[in-house]
């Protein structure tokens, strides 16, 4: 059952990568990274149990924290002025935010 759950999570990670590569807007990519992070936490916990090494849970905790911090970081910096005037920008929706 652990193995089945691991495989399911790996599948979901692949779907997430596809969305991250395709994903038309910036926020789609951030969403993909966020989902990828949560899935990595789960994957590492599951692998730790499947391989009988509960040490891995430390890494899962680090991931949960680091994922949060990097998402907040991305959003913090996406508020800044540089992200709003894009050189290729020609009358897009995010011009006057």
Partner 1 sequence: MDTIVSMASALCLLLGSFLCLSGGVGILRFPDFYTRMHAVGVTDTLAAAMILIGLMLQNPEGLVMLKLLLILLMTIFISPVASHALAKAAFKNDLVPLSDSNENKGGTESSIS
Partner 2 sequence: MRDLFAVIMMTGIFGLLSASFFVAMDAVDVAFTEASVGAGIATLLMLTAVTLTGRSEDSERHKPMWALVVVFTTGGLLIYGTLDMPYFGFAEAPVHQHVAPRYIYDSMQETGLPNIVTSVLASYRGFDTLGEVVVIFTAGMGVLALLRVERRPGIDQIMADSIFYLMHERHLILRIVTKMLLPFILLFALYVQFHGDFGPGGGFQAGVIFAAGIILYAMVFGLNTARYVVNRTFVRSLSAIGVLLYGGVGVVSMLLGGNFLDYDVLADSPVAGQHLGILLIELGVGLTVAAVMVIIFFNFCGRRDLP
Q: Which residues contact 85 (CB under 8 A, 6 or more apart)?
A: 95
CB of 71 to partner 2, least distance (A): 10
> Are 20 and 54 spatial neighbours (Cβ–Cβ below 8 Å)?
no
Q: Which is nearer to partner 2, 2 or 62 (CB)?
A: 62
Q: Of the two residues 26 and 51, which places its CB atom closer to partner 1 in the complex?
A: 26
CA–CA distances in Å: residue 43 to residues 12, 23, 65, 81: 11, 23, 15, 37
Nearest CB to partner 2, comparing residues 8 and 66: 66
Q: Residue 49 binds which entry of partner 1, partner 2, none, with Cβ cut-offs from 5 to 8 Å by kind?
A: partner 1
- Total binding residues toward partner 2, as defined by CB under 8 A: 44
């Amino acid at each position: 059952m652990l193995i089945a759950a691991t495989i399911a999570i790996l599948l979901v990670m692949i779907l997430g990568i596809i969305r991250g590569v395709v994903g038309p807007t910036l926020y789609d990519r951030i969403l993909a990274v966020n989902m990828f992070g949560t899935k990595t936490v789960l994957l590492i916990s599951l692998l730790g149990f499947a391989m009988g090494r509960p040490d891995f849970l430390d890494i899962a905790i680090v991931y949960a924290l680091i994922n949060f911090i990097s998402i907040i970081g991305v959003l913090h910096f996406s508020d800044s002025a540089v992200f709003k005037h894009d050189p290729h920008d020609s009358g897009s929706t995010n011009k006057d935010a």
